[in-house]
Amino acid sequence: MKTSVHSEIGQLEGVIIHTPGSEVENMTPENAERALYSDILNLSIASKEYAQFEGVLKKVSQVYQVKDLLADILADEAVKKEVLNEICMTEYIDSCQQLLEASPQKLANLLVEGVVLEKNNLTNYLSNERFLLRPLHNLFFTRDSAMGMNDSMLIGKMANPVRERESVIMEAIYKNHPAIESKILNPGKPESGIMVNRKSMVEGGDVQIARDDIFVIGTGVRTSTQGIDFIIENLKHQKKEKHHIIVQELPETPESFIHLDMVFTFLNTDECMVYPPVIFGMSRFKTIHIEIENGNVRRIEEMPNIPKALKKLGMDLRPISCGGIGDPWIQEREQWHSGANFLAFAPGKVIGYQRNVHTIEELNNHGYDVVTATDIISGKANVDDYKKCVVTIAGSELARGGGGARCMSQPFRRKQVNW
């Protein structure tokens, strides 16, 4: 498959996910904050909930697992050495010999689940670390480490060092796996042909493709203005086409505002999900429209909000409120548990947590039929039978990880949308 993501809502054809495993359990309350969690998860419950998410995706798209793709490419010795060399350099590991000798599948597991530190010398004995190679606690949020931008994949430049290996793994997969063909952009590497800024940070939760020529990007604690400047420079290289970037500043606190897709997601050709206090509230957080044409930035101007900026560009979206309308307390509660974070697998067909009952009810009020994941998986219901629908998945445990259906998916191929 060639990578092709020209919108947030085109029919899903290829998506990469990661089923959470022992790396989620290799966490304690003491190190949870370092792992970017506010709480530790119960894996047995989270796994059952995730099975619903994966089961629905398998009904609507080709689904790939990170570990399987990684094991495939690690069978090539040259690729294995290249990947391990980069990981050992970035994570300051003196010797990769133990990893080099592992089989491809075993190595894929180790790179995800972690390598326990052997207490075989004084330095290691006195170390407070449990792992030589830390587990990738956040990997099941595959959205952040690579994101489709039209026919390219932009590799995430993660804000926190504990997630750097995720980007290394995804770049290696897109570069080397025979099942996927892609052009790669990496804000962390000079071979992109554009000057690298050490302050560049870009994570997929902040990057949304509205249309071929319109990107909506959040900037806050995870995506820096320098990271967005990297995207601007790449678009300037596409000399003739006109492109637009709508930038939304995000609050630094609370942690539920970590990415744009926690307060704004696309649902349909004419609808979007919003968390009103951030998107429409009177605040100091700016919405900025940047126009790029013929290799130059033609215009930078402030706009009232994202929907109005999109309407100016010919996309008239009706906002649907996370948590329903009228009660800011309910809105705040449901936003905290990813109530605005929906994954569209086709125009007007989305997946989200069933726990956010007021948000689901509001979608239903706007014509979305509510269908449970279990009914889709069992065959009792078929998404093709609905013009618009929201497929609800269990999320009592998954939501405590700090992300929703969009966070847990990395689409790399979608059909074009008939606008």
Burial 85-98 (b: 16+ CB within 10 A, else e): ebbbeeeeeeebee
Helix/strand/coil for 98? helix
Residues in the chain: 419
Separation CA 320–CA 255 (nearest Å)? 22
Of 260, 155, 256, 156, whose CA–CA distance to 203 is shortest?
A: 156
Across 52-59, average pLDDT: 98
pLDDT at 36 > cutoff 70: no
Banded pLDDT at 395 (limits 50, 70, 90):
very high
Helix/strand/coil for 371? strand
pLDDT at 392 > cutoff 90: yes
Would residue 221 count as lying in a domain? yes
Task: Kindly tell me the sign of the dihedral angle through the C-alpha atoms of 219, 164, 151, 65.
Answer: negative
pLDDT at 35 > cutoff 90: no
What confidence tens digit (pLDDT) does each residue in 399-415 have? 888 899 999 999 999 99
pLDDT confidence of residue 14: 98
Would residue 1 count as lying in a domain? no
Mean pLDDT of the chain: 92
Across 171-184, average pLDDT: 97
Task: Say which range, 26-35, 56-65, 118-127, 181-190, has the weakest mean pLDDT.
Answer: 26-35
- HSE (side-chain half, CA atoms, 13 Å) at 310: 24
Cβ 61 vs Cβ 15: under 8 Å: yes
Burial 61-70 (b: 16+ CB within 10 A, else e): bebbebbebb
Across 110-132, average pLDDT: 87
Burial 392-409 (b: 16+ CB within 10 A, else e): bbbbebbbbbbbbbbbbb
pLDDT at 34 > cutoff 60: no
What confidence tens digit (pLDDT) does each residue in 74-106 have? 999 999 999 999 999 989 887 778 899 999 999
Task: Say which range, 29-43, 175-189, 239-253, 397-411, has the weakest mean pLDDT.
Answer: 29-43
pLDDT at 368 > cutoff 50: yes
Host domain of residue 347: 12-414
Would residue 229 count as lying in a domain? yes
Would residue 392 count as lying in a domain? yes
% the chain with pLDDT above 90: 78
The torsion angle over the Cα atoms of residues 399, 401, 406 and 410, rounded to 10 degrees, is -150
Show the CA angle centred on residue 112, arms to residues 87 and 126, nearest 5°. 70
Separation CA 37–CA 78 (nearest Å)? 35
Q: Return the CATH number at 323.
A: 3.75.10.10
Task: Say which range, 35-44, 51-60, 157-166, 352-361, has the weakest mean pLDDT.
Answer: 35-44
pLDDT confidence of residue 239: 65
Would residue 419 count as lying in a domain? no
Please give the C-alpha separations between residue 283 and each of 76, 216, 280, in angstroms, as whole numbers: 52, 19, 9
Across 43-70, average pLDDT: 97
Would residue 257 count as lying in a domain? yes
Cβ 396 vs Cβ 188: under 8 Å: no
The torsion angle over the Cα atoms of residues 359, 365, 366 and 371, rounded to 10 degrees, is 70
Helix/strand/coil for 115? strand
Would residue 251 count as lying in a domain? yes
Burial 331-367 (b: 16+ CB within 10 A, else e): bbebbbbbbbbbbbbbbbbbbbbbbbebbbebbeeee
pLDDT confidence of residue 191: 61
Across 382-407, average pLDDT: 95
What confidence tens digit (pLDDT) does each residue in 2-24 have? 999 999 999 999 999 999 998 98
Total domains in the fold of the chain:
1
Token pair for residue 326? Answer: 């009228």
DSSP string, 37-64: -SS---HHHHHHHHHHHHHHHHHHSEEE
pLDDT confidence of residue 8: 98
pLDDT at 192 > cutoff 60: no
pLDDT at 207 > cutoff 50: yes
Across 344-353, average pLDDT: 98
Would residue 5 count as lying in a domain? no
pLDDT confidence of residue 31: 56
Name residue 231's amino acid: I
Across 281-291, average pLDDT: 90
